[in-house]
Structure formats: structure tokens, C-alpha cells
Amino acid sequence: MEEILIVDDDPGFRKLLETILTGEGYRVTTAATVAEAIGSCERKQYHLIVSDLRLPDGEGLEVLRWSKEHMPETPVIMITGFGTVASAVEAMKLGAADYLGKPLSSPDELRMLVRKALEHSQSETEREMLREEQQRRFSCGTIVAGHPSMCKVMELARKVAPTNAAVLLTGESGTGKEIIAHCIHDNSPRAGKAFVAVNCAALSPALIETELFGHEKGSFTGAVGQHAGRFERAHGGTLFLDEIGELDGSLQAKLLRVLQEKTFERVGGTRVISVDVRIITATNRDLKQSIAEGKFREDLYYRLDLFPIKIPPLRERGRDVLELARFFLLRAGKNMQKTALRLTPEAERVIMAYSWPGNVREMENMMERMAILCDDLVEADDLPITDSGPARPVLFKEIERQAILDALQANDGNRTKTAQQLGISLRTLQYRLKDYGIGQPKES
């Protein structure tokens, strides 16, 4: 049975909420002050907190802040009455799950908000449990995989790891394809052998041939000695061919032969060399399109595409984005002896809204930069983000727009007084009015 804490100094309203929620089968505890609420939370773990914004000994925001610090998995719904809309916006910035109007419009409104908050919290908990279970069964280092799309990637990697099947990793640049390749190798029977990586786009066709297959002494100008290629060095282990879509056509044919016969000759040599190598490849190209354009061999594609895994871009990984940002910032901070580094709620909101065109690689670099520039708090203005994707989460925009409308109505349309009540500048208010398509109010 879910435990809910209601915090409100109005006995009648507090009793109303308690009656409705008790009738729904929840176990309800009540408090009338900030001190009582925090004391109750110190004694018991709640599944949900519903708190008024105005309390006799302080603000409900104090309950929210304490909850986010000591029990971050517990959602908080804020109760907002007339004149508290600005605080409601601040509460959403600080991480409130939702807000409830006072007086209550109907019991169904409360039931719906509570059910939604608890369901979201439960799904977050289930994803955390799944992630912990995956880590126990399948070690993958720094990979954050709480979002269903990444859980699917990790499950596919877990299933293919014990086999010798060729794996083709696809996805945008910077999504972590080499990390997944390492993960598959590290959880395979070949883990004790070499993991050898080659970037097919970084070398010319002549150089990559000798890198892959090696060469004999005197096979070309500058070949002063015998050279073992990557295939030989990966014997018994895994060869990771990154950017496979950039491989020259003649080398595609030679690679196909190695995959089929498991033998090759060094450049300039005649001795047949046998190898036992698992192949994992990666590309950010559409190889089927490359086949249609005559740039990639179809027979090689089907050899490599035995077990495809598509890695989603960072912008499609939900709250994994925030977990990754925190992880990279914490790691960079430790390296620089800045253990107090953390993101402000507003910085986290910007990070969640950003489209991350450079994916995980871009995020890691940005958090390292933040660790250099900042000593403790990373503010939104510190982030070098210009393309913020969706400007604001939809829920936040709805709350902010309603807050502005309520404040305008309370101040008879006076812009100056409205800005003062909301705690923003007149210029910011004018921008918001235009952004939300609200009609021109009266001049001050």
C-alpha cells in the first residue's frame, strides 16, 4: 500500500485530501508545518508528498528541497492557491512532479494527479531495478541504461556476447558504439584475449590494408621489416572495425574473403595465415543506401549484419541524459579535486531540453569543461548551449503561461506590477507575452 504525506495548515482542506486519498486505498499521514513534514519524513519513507506552498513556519519549497536532497525518488505535488503562481513556477523548476489548485476543483483532479505521480515514480523505480539487475548479470562499465531504448540495446548485447556472431552497431556519431563493442567483448568467452580497434575512416586504403593484414619486409618503400596486422594481433579475441562504411571497395573484397575462409596473406607475402577472430563493426552510415549507390558490397553487408544493434541518439534516451551528465560531471570533478560540483535544477532543465547533436561524446566534453570553469554549482548560463531544442518542457510552459495570465488578471493588466509579482524583469515578461501569444496588456 502506497504511503502519502499531506502537508497543509488548513485543517478542513487537509482533512478533505486525506478523506479522498484514504478512500482510494492509500495510507495517509498528515502534517501542518514544514518542521512536522520533515520530521515525519525522517521517520518514514513516503511514496508521495502533497504539500501546500504556504505554511506557518516557512514555505512548502523547503519541504520540496529537503525531499529532493534526502529522498529524490519520492515525487512531490505542490498545492497552489491564489497569489502563489510564481512560487508554483519555482517549484516546477526545483523538480516538483505537478501542482494542485486550491480550492480543489473536484476529487477526480486529486485522484488523477496522485495516480500519475505514483505511476511515474514506480516506472522510474522499475527502470532502476532493471539497471541494477543488468549490472549484476552483465558488466558494462560506465554505460547508463535506464531508458527502455537503451535497456533494449543492453539486452541485445547481453544475448549476443557469449556467441561468436558478427555484430553490426549502427547509430549517430558519438552514441557510444565502441563502448558497446568493448562491453560485448568483455562479457564474452574471448574476454581474456585482445580487443583490437581500427578506424576505417582514419587511414588511406594503402595504409589500412597493411594495418589490417600486415606486410612483409620490402613489400613496399619503407617496409624495413615484417609487420603483423590487426587481424593477427586480435587472434583469439575481437576485432572492432569502426566506420566500416568508409572501407575502400578493394578492401571490402579482401575482408569478405577473410570472413569466409578465416585466412589471409600479408601484403607482399604468400604464406597463408589462419586466424580466429570475432568481428564487430560500426557505422553511422545507412549501408543499404550505400549498397544501392554501389559503394558497399551487398554480400559483405549480409556477413556483417548477422546481429544488428541500433544505438539510439542521446536526445531519445529520456532521463538517461541527466544521469549521464551527472556521472560525467562527478567523474571530471573528482579528477580535478572538485568533489562539490553539481548541476542546478535550471541547468538540468536546459540539459534535458538540449538536442545533443554530438551525443555522448559532446556531453562528456561539455561536463569536463564545466569541471574546469566551475568550482561548485554549474548554472544554466555556464553551459555552452545555443541550440536548446524544445525551448521548455511542455508542462513547464503550461504552468508559466497560466502563471502570467493569473498575475496579469490580479494586476488588472499592468505589466510593471505583473513582472514584479512574478519576480522577473519587464523585458522578460514582454518576451514571454509574445512567446505565448498573450494579448497586449495595459501600459504601466
Model confidence pTM above 0.85: no
How distant, in Å, are the alpha carbons of 18, 31, 160, 239, 275 from that of 403?
Answer: 27, 27, 52, 58, 68
Burial of 60 per CB tally in 10 Å (0-12, 13-18, 19+): buried
Give the separation between CA 172 and CA 177, rounded to whole angstroms: 9
Closest CA to 348 of 400, 398, 385: 385
Start and end residues for every CATH 3.40.50.300 domain found in the chain:
139-310
Specify whether domain 315-382 bears CATH 1.10.8.60.
Answer: yes
pLDDT for the residue 406: 77
pLDDT for the residue 96: 85
pLDDT for the residue 122: 66
CATH architecture for the domain at 394-435:
Orthogonal Bundle (1.10)
Q: What is the mean pLDDT of each run of 10 residues along the chain (444 residues)?
A: 92 92 92 95 92 91 90 88 66 81 84 86 59 55 79 91 95 92 93 92 82 79 74 94 92 92 86 92 94 95 95 90 92 88 87 90 92 89 67 51 79 82 69 71 43
What CATH number was assigned to the domain covering residues 139-310?
3.40.50.300
Give the separation between CA 337 and CA 308, rounded to whole angstroms: 41
Burial of 43 per CB tally in 10 Å (0-12, 13-18, 19+): exposed
Give the separation between CA 227 and CA 240, rounded to whole angstroms: 19
- Class of the CATH domain delimited by 3-125: alpha beta
Closest CA to 19 of 107, 80, 78: 107
Start and end residues for every CATH 3.40.50.2300 domain found in the chain:
3-125
Start and end residues for every CATH 1.10.10.60 domain found in the chain:
394-435
Closest CA to 231 of 254, 248, 205: 254
pLDDT for the residue 441: 42
